[in-house]
Amino acid sequence: LLAEYLGRSRGALATPEDVTVCTSVTDGVRRLCHALRAEGITAVGCEEPGWTRLRDVIRAAGLDPVPVRTDGGGLRVADLAGHGGLRAVLTSPAHQFPLGSVLAPERRAALLQWARQVDGVVLEDDYDAEFRYDRRPVAALQGMDPSRVVLFKSLSKILSPALGIGWIVAPPRWTRHLHRSDQTATQPPTLDQLAFATLLESGAYDRHLRACRKRYRDRRDALVRALVEELPGAPVSGIAAGLHLILRLPAEVDTAAVVRAAGARSLRIADLAAYHATEDHADHGLVLGYGNLADGMVDEAVGHLRAAIEAGSR
Say if residue 29 is in the same domain as residue 145.
yes
Average pLDDT over residues 28-49: 96
pLDDT at residue 184, as a whole number: 59
Mind listing the pLDDT tens digit for each residue in 8-24?
999 999 999 999 999 99
Name the percent of the chain lying above pLDDT 90. 88
* 278 band by pLDDT with thresholds 50, 70 and 90: confident
* Domain boundary residue, one of 187, 202, 217: 202
Residue 214 burial (CB count, 10 A): 11
Say if residue 111 is in the same domain as residue 259.
no
* 182 band by pLDDT with thresholds 50, 70 and 90: low
pLDDT at residue 129, as a whole number: 92
Can you give the pTM of this predicted structure? 0.94
* Domain boundary residue, one of 202, 229, 245: 202
pLDDT at residue 124, as a whole number: 98
Say if residue 192 is in the same domain as residue 56.
yes
Say if residue 306 is in the same domain as residue 161.
no
Give the total number of structural domains in the chain: 2
Say if residue 16 is in the same domain as residue 122.
yes
Average pLDDT over residues 42-59: 97
* 179 band by pLDDT with thresholds 50, 70 and 90: confident
pLDDT at residue 75, as a whole number: 98
Which residue from 276, 264, 313, 306 is spatially nearest to 288, judged by alpha carbons?
A: 306
Say if residue 222 is in the same domain as residue 197.
no
Q: Which residues of 3-40 are buried (b: 16+ CB within 10 A; e: fewer)?
A: bebbeebbebbbeeebbbbbbbbbbbbbbbbbbbeeee
Which of 3-12, 214-223, 276-285 has the weakest average pLDDT?
Answer: 276-285
Q: What is the mean pLDDT of the chain?
A: 94
Say if residue 112 is in the same domain as residue 248.
no
Q: What CATH number corresponds to the domain at position 126? A: 3.40.640.10
Residues 121/72/69/125 CA torsion (nearest 10 deg): -40
* 313 band by pLDDT with thresholds 50, 70 and 90: confident
Say if residue 48 is in the same domain as residue 185.
yes
Q: What CATH number corresponds to the domain at position 225? A: 3.90.1150.10
Say if residue 129 is in the same domain as residue 170.
yes
48 Ramachandran zone, left/alpha/beta (phi>0; psi -120 to 50)? beta
Instruction: Determine which helix (DSSP H) or strand (DSSP E) holds 48, and give its type and residue range.
Output: strand 43-48
Give the dihedral sign, CA 130/47/32/159. Answer: negative
Average pLDDT over residues 258-287: 92
**Rounded Cα gap, residues 93 and 280, in angstroms:** 23
Q: Are 161 and 21 in contact (CB under 8 A)?
A: no
Say if residue 18 is in the same domain as residue 53.
yes
- What domain range is 193 assigned to? 2-202
* Domain boundary residue, one of 152, 183, 202: 202
Mind listing the pLDDT tens digit for each residue in 283-305?
889 999 999 999 999 999 999 99
